[in-house]
Amino acid sequence: MSVYFETVKTQNNARAGVIHTPHGDILTPVFAPVGTQATVKAVLPRDLREIGASLVLSNTYHLFLRPGSDLVAEMGGLHRFMRWDQPILTDSGGFQVFSLAKINRIDDDGVTFRSHIDGSARRLTPEIATGIQHQLGADIIMCFDQCPPPTDYATAAAAVDRTSAWAARCHQAHGTDTAQALFGIQQGGVFEELRARSSDALLKLDFPGYAVGGLAVGESKPQMYATLESCVPMLPADKPRYLMGVGAPDDLAQGVLRGIDMFDCVLPTRIARHGAVFTFDGTLNMGNLAHARDESPIDPTCDCLCCQNFSRAYIRHLIKARELLAHTLLSIHNLRFLIRHMEALRAAILAGDGQLQAYVDSFLLRYLRG
């Protein structure tokens, strides 16, 4: 198996580990910047390396529609195409099919939908989604799944059964003669019984890793945390656990406490494009007048390119002038903030003696108060 997980140390439910992949090791817990269309918006691969990113996520749905997985394969695969020589994970596109497609029709075989780009009719099945990801060549690929509203029991139950059947088909289509690792995705909304049903079906297929899907899509934070409390222990302790689409700093801390190893989210680059930044004292709007003559950096303790070189006053000027450099600098800062946060969580786990809970309590007290 070319992708495998090694636990280095645990502290209660949290783990510090290493995911070994063909393109390098990933120290966990880890946050992955999202490069949906084979690029992390406004950020160069060089800058991703500088801020310590070790894993980038791209998306099957978007690359299937444009430029097409055939073209990416012709160009040597996703690593060569986007000039990123470290690990890549591709989402199967299931979430986007249900959330972005103008019209979709789901059946037990797959999903027929119209492209949000040009309205053309397209089809994704477990076999097609797996084949596309084979062409893209990511180190970690995901099963095609159905992501339902998290609090609707009937819809969530139907999605669990369909996702389980699709996982078996993805597993068969994936085969064994590949260095790529196919992860299963647990569904079930906020319902413990459905999460257990989903886990039972996935564990029979013995995937090298498992994701918790269908959260942060409409439920409250207390509901998400309670669901993680119950559903994460259902997944194997010797395999990586991936919470899909979650990237708020407080949610990362809560997820790590509950045994999650991997996270991804568009949030840090999305809020950057709106002039907002993460700080230990909460999220700041850098377009506010209060920063107009402030010579200090966003965060004097931060080692990112933005904080080491530019003042709050300059950042505000870029935002007000609608200069694209603002997107780049704020995205770099937000991603580095989350990566530093993950590094601190990992260090606290390795330190032992209750250091993780102490760090989380201290972080949340300051961040949420801000």
My answer on whether 88 and 135 are in the same domain is yes
Q: Is residue 370 pLDDT above 90, yes or no?
A: no
User: Given this model, what pLDDT does residue 88 score?
Assistant: 98
My answer on whether 255 and 320 are in the same domain is no
99-120, pLDDT tens digit by residue? Answer: 776 678 889 999 998 888 998 9
- Find out whether 173 and 126 touch, Cβ atoms under 8 Å: yes
My answer on whether 325 and 229 are in the same domain is no
264 is catalytic: yes
Selected catalytic residue, list 91, 145, 251, 261:
91
Residue that finishes a domain, picked among 265, 285, 316: 265
Closest CA to 209 of 136, 139, 265, 156: 139
309-346, pLDDT tens digit by residue? Answer: 999 999 999 999 999 999 999 999 999 999 999 999 99
My answer on whether 279 and 243 are in the same domain is no
Other residues' Cβ atoms within 10 Å of the Cβ of residue 280: 16
Residue that finishes a domain, picked among 249, 265, 281: 265
353 is catalytic: no
User: Given this model, what pLDDT does residue 309 score?
Assistant: 98
Selected catalytic residue, list 47, 139, 264, 299:
264
My answer on whether 120 and 219 are in the same domain is yes
My answer on whether 231 and 181 are in the same domain is yes
38-89, pLDDT tens digit by residue? Answer: 999 999 999 999 999 999 999 999 999 999 999 999 999 999 999 999 999 9
My answer on whether 47 and 162 are in the same domain is yes
My answer on whether 253 and 280 are in the same domain is no
109-165, pLDDT tens digit by residue? Answer: 999 988 889 989 999 999 999 999 999 999 999 999 999 899 999 999 999 999 999
Q: Is residue 166 pLDDT above 80, yes or no?
A: yes
My answer on whether 237 and 177 are in the same domain is yes
My answer on whether 139 and 256 are in the same domain is yes
Residue that finishes a domain, picked among 220, 237, 265: 265
Q: Is residue 183 pLDDT above 80, yes or no?
A: yes
User: Given this model, what pLDDT does residue 1 score?
Assistant: 60
CA–CA separation, 18 vs 25, rounded Å?
6
- The domain total for the chain is 2
* Per-residue three-class SS string for the chain: CCCEEEEEEEECCEEEEEEEECCEEEEECEEEEECCCCCCCCCCHHHHHHCCCCCEEEEHHHHHHCCCHHHHHHCCCHHHHHCCCCCEEEECCHHHHHHCCCCEEECCCCEEEECCCCCCEEEECHHHHHHHHHHHCCCEEECCCCCCCCCCHHHHHHHHHHHHHHHHHHHHHHCCCCCCEEEEEECCCCCHHHHHHHHHHHHCCCCCCEEECCCCCCCCHHHHHHHHHHHHHHCCCCCCEEECCCCCHHHHHHHHHCCCCEEEECHHHHHHCCCEEEECCEEEECCCHHHCCCCCCCCCCCCCHHHHHCCHHHHHHHHHCCCHHHHHHHHHHHHHHHHHHHHHHHHHHHHCCCHHHHHHHHHHHHHHHC
93: left (phi over 0), alpha (psi -120 to 50) or beta: left
Q: Which domain holds residue 298?
A: 272-369
203-262, pLDDT tens digit by residue? Answer: 999 999 999 999 999 999 999 999 999 999 999 999 999 999 999 999 999 999 999 999
My answer on whether 256 and 350 are in the same domain is no
What is the side-by-side strand order in the sheet with 104-106?
A: 104-106, 111-114, 121-124
Closest CA to 348 of 120, 29, 54: 29
- Find out whether 303 and 332 touch, Cβ atoms under 8 Å: no
* Its pTM surpasses 0.75: yes
φ and ψ at 88, to 5 degrees? -130, 140
My answer on whether 260 and 276 are in the same domain is no
14-43, pLDDT tens digit by residue? Answer: 999 999 999 999 999 999 999 999 999 999
The domain spanning residue 141 has which CATH number?
A: 3.20.20.105
Here the tokens at position 370 are 């801000």
